[in-house]
Amino acid sequence: MRRCGRRGKRGGRMNQLALLDDGPRARQSDSSCFETDAWRKALDGKVTRKDGYVMLRMPEHPRANSWGYVRYHIVVAELAMGGNLPPGAEVHHANGDRSDNRRTNLVICPDRRYHYLLHQRANAFISCGLANWKKCPYCKQYGDPADMYDPGIPGRQAVHRQCRAAFERVRRATKQLDRGAHDSASV
C-alpha cells in the first residue's frame, strides 16, 4: 500500500459502497469518529489491504494507525456497541473472510486469548468435525482431549501420549549421542 494516497496495484480507493441492511449504522456518540458526517467522509477513504482487511480513513479515531486509517471491522463493531471497544478487545470474523464486515459476521472478543480459542475451535471443526478436539504438535493430527496429555500450562499444547513418548525417546537418544561425541572429542 502506498502512503501518499495515489492509486496502487492493490488497495487503491474503492467506490463508495452502499451500506447493507445488516451493515453499520451511523450513531451519535461521545467520540467524533461516530458522527454522521465523519462516517460519510470515511467511506470515501475506504481501501483494501493486501491481507484482505478493509481500512477506513478516520484520522481522529483512537485506533487509527500513523496514516490515519482504522480497520473497518473495528468501526462496525464499535458502531454496533455504541462506543469504543474496551482496551485489549479484538474483533473476530466468524466466516474467516476479512473483507466481510457485516455485523452478523463479527464477534467481539474480550482478549487475544479468546480470539485464538475461536480460531482453534473453528480449525478443529473444519478438519475433523469436532470443535473440542485438539491438534497434536508432533503428528499434526486431531484427537480427543481425553486421550491426550495436556500439561495444563498456558502456551503448552496437548499431545498424544504415544507421540510424546516417541519424541522423548528420540530426544534422550540424541542427548546420549551428543554426550558421547563430546566425551570422545575432549580426550
Mean pLDDT of 160-177: 89
Which range, of 20-34, 41-55, 107-121, 153-167, averages the lowest pLDDT? 20-34
Mean pLDDT of 87-102: 93
**Rg (alpha carbons) of the chain, rounded to whole number:** 24
pLDDT in tens, 119-167: 999 999 999 999 999 999 999 999 998 889 888 877 778 899 899 899 9
Residue 42 is predicted with a pLDDT of: 54
Which range, of 34-38, 83-87, 164-168, averages the lowest pLDDT? 34-38
Scan for cell 450513531, then name that residue: 27
Which range, of 27-36, 72-81, 109-118, averages the lowest pLDDT? 27-36
d(C-alpha 61, C-alpha 59), whole Å: 6
Amino acid at 116: Y
pLDDT value at 73 more than 90: yes
Residue 36 is predicted with a pLDDT of: 57
Nearest to 158 by CA among 147, 170, 169: 147
Nearest to 55 by CA among 76, 72, 33, 34: 72
Taking residue 155's Cβ as centre, other Cβ atoms within 10 Å add up to 5
Of 105-114, 157-166, 168-177, which one has max mean pLDDT? Answer: 105-114
- Judged on CB neighbours under 10 Å (0-12, 13-18, 19+), 46 is middle
The domain spans of the chain are 1-83, 130-187
Q: What cell does 138 get? A: 508432533
Q: pLDDT class for 14, splitting at 50, 70, 90?
A: very low
The more confidently predicted of residues 67 and 184 is: 67
